[in-house]
Amino acid sequence: MTASIDNTHFLLRRLHSLFGLVPVGAFLVFHLWENSQSRFGAAHFNETVVGGLQRLNYLPFLELFVIALPLLFHAGYGLAVIGSGRAEPLRYRFLRNRWYWLQRISGVGLMLFLLLHVGMTRIAGMFEPSIRADLFGHMQQSLSQPPVLALYLIGLWLAVFHLANGLSTAAIAWGLTTSANAQRRFGWLCGAFGLLLGAIGMHGLIGFLAAAGGAA
Amino acid sequence: MIRANVELRIRRQDTPGSAPYWQVFNAPVRERDNVISVLMQLRQQPVTADGQRVDPVAFEHNCMEEVCGACAMLINGLPRPSCSALIDELDHPIVLEPLPKFPVVRDLIVDRSRMSEHLQRVKAWIRIDGAWEIHERTQRQSQQAWARNYLYSRCMSCGCCMAACPQFGPDKAFVGPAPLAQVRLMNAHPTGRYDSAERLHAIMAEGGLTDCGNAQNCVRVCPKEIPLTTAIGELGRQTTLQMLKDLFGA
C-alpha cells in the first residue's frame, strides 16, 4: 500500500509547505539579515555584503535552484489551490480565521510585490551594470521616493507575516504541534519571530536612508 | 405561560432549486424555550408579522438534547444545534437560516448526505471480523487513552464544523473536520488501529487532510467541544510518518 506516493496530491501539498519554509523562508531571513547591514554605509554594503555574494561560485545555480524555482513552485501552487477556500473573516471573527484570510491575501500581495522588487533590482541589474556596481546607491535613490518606501514597507510586512503565520500552521500540518496549548504557544513564538524579523527588515530599509553616501 | 413575543427572521426556500426568501414572524415564547420549541409553537399558527398565513416553516429535529445533530442551523449567523439554543441567551431579533454549505431541501432542512459520504470515504468504522471470525476480545486501553478518545466519540455529525470551515463546500473536495476527527478516533481504537494505514491513505488523497487551511473555525463552533484541531495536528503527525514509511519502507 503506497497510496500516498502513488497519488501526488499529498506530496505536492507537503512540498508546497516545505518550500515555503526551506529554502524560501530561510532565504527571507538571510536576505533581511544581509540588508540590515545597510547602516554601515555604501562602501561596506557594496563591497562586503553585495560583493561577497556576487563573488560566490556557482551563484546563478544557487539563485535558480535555491531561490527562484522553489519560490515559483510555492507561489504557483499556492495560487492554484487558493480557490479551494472561501474565507469569511467577518462572520467568524476568530484570530486564526483572520490569519487564514490574511495568509491568502498576503500571498497574492507578495507575488505582485516580488514582481516589482525583483524587476527593480535583480532583473534591472542584468541590463544596467551600474545597478550591480552600486546597489546601495540604487536602493537609496529608490527608497528616498515615498511611494517606493511605502511599497517596500508593505512588502516587508506581508512577507514577514506570511512566513511567521506559515511557520505556525506548518507546525500543525506536519504534526509538530498537536494540542491546543502547543499550537497556541508555538503561535506566539512565531509572532515574536515575525516581529523580530520585521524589525530587522525595517532596520535595513531605514539604513539605506540614514547611512551616508550614495556612490562610494 | 406565554411570556412574550419574539421576532424571528427566517430564510425560507420552497424546493431544493428555488430562490430563497425571507419572512418575519412574531412568535410566542414561553420561559426556557429553545429555538426548536419556538418553531414547534409557530407551526401551529404560521402567520407572519404582517398577518399573512403561510406554509408552516419546515425544520428538522429529533433528540432535543444536543446528541443527535439533526437540528443544526445558522442562528444569528453562526452554526449551532437549535435545540440547545435558548431564546433567553440569544440576541433579538433571532435570525434563522439553513446550515450553509449543504444543499437545502426545504426551509431549514438541509441534505447532509455529504457528511455520510465523507465518513465512508475515510473509512470511519472498525472492522470487527473480516472474512473470517477473529474471536478475540478488544484489547484493553489505558484510562488516559480512553479519556482522550472519548472526546471524539461525542461527535454527532451535526455539520457545524463543516459549515464554518472555509475549505469545505459543495464545490470543494475537502472531507471536512468531523470525518477527520473520526479517523483520529478509529486509528486510536485497539481494533481499529489495524486499518490505520488505510485510513491515512484515504486522507492523503484529494480533499484529505492537506486541504485543511488551519482557520480553526471548526473547533470554535463545535457544540460538543471536540478538539478537532488537535485531531488535525495528530493526523498531521500520523500522515508525516506514513509518508516516510511509504517513501522509505515501513
* Percent share of chain A, pLDDT over 90: 93
pLDDT at B2: 65
Interface-testing mutation among B168, B175, B184, B216, with chain A (most A C-beta atoms within 10 A): B216
What structural domains does chain B harbor?
2-110 (3.10.20.30), 113-248 (1.10.1060.10)
Core vs surface per residue A132-159: b (16+ CB within 10 A) or e: bbbbbbbbbebbeeeeebebbbebbbbb
pLDDT at B138: 73
* End-to-end CA gap in chain B: 67
The predicted model gives B35-52 an average pLDDT of 96
User: pLDDT tens for residues B176-211?
Assistant: 999 999 999 999 998 899 899 999 999 999 999 999
pLDDT at B66: 97
Q: Is this complex's ipTM strictly greater than 0.85? A: yes
Residue B130 clears pLDDT 70, i.e. is over it: no
| Chain A residue numbers touching B174 (CB-CB < 8 A) | 84
Residue of A nearest to B172 (CA): A84
- Asked if B86 reaches chain A (Cβ–Cβ under 8 Å), the answer is no
pLDDT at B139: 78
Residue in A119, A109, A116 with CA at minimum distance from that of residue A82: A109
Mean pLDDT of chain A: 94
CB contact under 8 A, B212 and A10: no
pLDDT at A210: 87
Confidence class of residue A216 from pLDDT cuts 50, 70 and 90? Answer: very low
- Grouping H, G, I as helix, E, B as strand and the rest as coil, residue B167 is coil
Residue A1 clears pLDDT 60, i.e. is over it: no
- Asked if B90 reaches chain A (Cβ–Cβ under 8 Å), the answer is no
Chain A: give the shortest CA distance to residue B130, in Å.
Answer: 18
Q: Which amino acid is at A200?
A: I
CB contact under 8 A, A9 and B236: no
pLDDT at B241: 97
Confidence class of residue A84 from pLDDT cuts 50, 70 and 90? Answer: confident
pLDDT at A72: 98
The predicted model gives A186-214 an average pLDDT of 91
* Percent share of chain B, pLDDT over 70: 97
User: pLDDT tens for residues B106-119?
Assistant: 999 999 999 999 99
Residue in A64, A42, A46 with CA at minimum distance from that of residue A55: A46
Domain ranges of chain A: 19-78+93-210
- C-alpha to C-alpha distance for B166 and B172, rounded to whole angstroms: 10
User: pLDDT tens for residues B66-77?
Assistant: 999 999 999 999
From chain B residues 125-184, the ones with a CB under 8 A of any chain A CB are 164, 166-167, 169, 172-174
| Chain B residue numbers touching A13 (CB-CB < 8 A) | 210-211
Residue of B nearest to A94 (CA): B217
Q: Residue B196 burial (CB < 10 Å; 0-12/13-18/19+)?
A: middle
- Cα B132 to chain centroid distance, Å, stands at 35
Residue of B nearest to A8 (CA): B205
CB contact under 8 A, B164 and A92: yes
- Grouping H, G, I as helix, E, B as strand and the rest as coil, residue B162 is helix
pLDDT at A2: 60
H-run or E-run covering B179: helix B177-188
- C-alpha to C-alpha distance for A169 and B168, rounded to whole angstroms: 18
Mean pLDDT of chain B: 95
Residue appearing with cell numbers 506548518? A170
Domain range A19-78+93-210, CATH class: mainly alpha
Confidence class of residue A215 from pLDDT cuts 50, 70 and 90? Answer: very low
The predicted model gives B141-147 an average pLDDT of 95
